[in-house]
């Protein structure tokens, strides 16, 4: 009985941490880190959480190794540069057309 109560407490705390992490995905904060912390709390008592956490760690390690590949780094840098140029061009067009006016106050010119 005491063990089930302990597991319920661990589940509730882990759930609160995971929910806070999910909220932080949309709000400011380290969302994924908090979600993994909640999973680690669950992994102290539940085998299914240990399996998910182990699988996640393996996938993150594989992704980090792939990101260190020079070809992938060049591709990521090129895509980032292209995205930055697109944002700068669109921002310049907006400023040229409307000036420093917030979008919700812009009138068709």
- Greater model confidence, 108 or 87: 87
**Nearest alpha carbon to residue 35 among 23, 17, 53, 50:** 17
Say what angle helices 47-67 and 31-43 make with each other, to 10 degrees.
140
Q: Reply yes or no on whether the pLDDT at 109 is more than 60.
A: no
Cα-based distances in Å from 3 to 12, 17, 39: 14, 21, 19
Which region among 22-31, 34-43, 97-106 has the lowest average model confidence (pLDDT)? 97-106
Q: Are 44 and 10 in contact (CB under 8 A)?
A: yes
Residue ranges covered by each domain of the chain: 1-68, 70-109
pLDDT tens digit sequence for 64-94: 888 788 888 888 899 999 999 999 999 999 8
Q: How far apart are CA 85 and CA 79, in angstroms?
A: 10
Give me the residue label for tokens 């996640």: 56
């Amino acid at each position: 009985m005491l063990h089930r109560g302990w597991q319920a407490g661990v589940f509730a705390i882990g759930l609160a941490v995971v929910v806070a992490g999910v909220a932080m995905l949309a709000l400011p904060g380290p969302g994924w880190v908090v979600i993994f912390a909640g999973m680690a709390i669950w992994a102290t008592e539940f085998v299914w959480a240990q399996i998910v956490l182990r699988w996640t760690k393996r996938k993150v390690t594989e992704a980090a190794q792939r990101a260190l590949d020079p070809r992938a780094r060049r591709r990521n840098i090129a895509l980032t540069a292209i995205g930055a140029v697109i944002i700068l061009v669109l921002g310049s067009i907006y400023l040229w057309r409307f000036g420093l006016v917030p979008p919700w106050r812009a009138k068709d010119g």
